[in-house]
Amino acid sequence: MKSEVMRISHELQAQNEKIRENTEKIKVNKNLPYLVSNVIELLDVDPQDTEEDGAVVDLDAQRKGKCAVIKTSTRQTYFLPVIGLVDAEKLKPGDLVGVNKDSYLILETLPAEYDARVKAMEVDERPTEQYSDIGGLDKQIQELIEAVVLPMTHKEKFVNLGIQPPKGVLLYGPPGTGKTLLARACAAQTKSTFLKLAGPQLVQMFIGDGAKLVRDAFALAKEKAPAIIFIDELDAIGTKRFDSEKAGDREVQRTMLELLNQLDLPTIEECSNKWRLHKKNLKTN
Pairing verdict, β 193-198 and 77-80: unpaired
Element (H or E) spanning 36, and its range? strand 35-45
SS (H, E, C) 202-228: HCCCCCCHHHHHHHHHHHHHHHCCCEE
Give the CA angle between residues 143, 164, 237 to the nearest 5°: 70
In a shared domain, residues 105 and 120: no
Report whether pLDDT(278) > 60: no
Domain count of the fold of the chain: 2
- The boundaries of the domain holding residue 203 are 116-284
Count of CB atoms situated within 10 Å of the CB of 95:
19
Q: What is the pTM of this model?
A: 0.60
Of the residues 88, 109, 130, which one is the last residue of a structural domain? 109
Residues sharing a CB contact under 8 Å with residue 258, sequence separation 6 or more, in sequence order = 210, 211, 214, 215
At 108, phi and psi to the nearest 5? -165, 145
pLDDT band at 69 (very low <50, low <70, confident <90, very high): very high
Is 149 within 8 Å of 234 (Cβ atoms)? no
Task: Give, rounded to a whole angstrom, the gap between the first and last alpha carbons of the chain.
Answer: 83
pLDDT of residue 264: 63
Calculate the CA dihedral of residues 146, 148, 154, 155 and round it to 10 degrees: 120
| Residue 143 and residue 70 share a domain | no
List helix spans (H) across 30-154.
116-119, 138-144, 150-153
Q: Are residues 139 and 193 in the same domain?
A: yes
Q: Please compute Rg for the chain using Cα positions.
A: 27
Residues 250 and 135 in one domain: yes
Q: Do the domain assignments include residue 46? A: yes
Domain with residue 206: its CATH number is: 3.40.50.300
Q: 230 and 212: one domain? A: yes
pLDDT score for 61: 53
Residue 23 lies inside a defined structural domain of this protein = no
Rounded distance, CA 73 to CA 100, Å?
12
Which residues are within 8 A (CB) of 120 and not within 5 positions of it... i.e. 6 or more apart? none
Specify if 82 maps to a domain. yes
Q: Once rounded to an integer, what is the mean pLDDT over residues 196-218? A: 82
The answer, yes or no, to whether residue 32 has pLDDT greater than 80, is no
- pLDDT over 80 at 274, yes or no: no
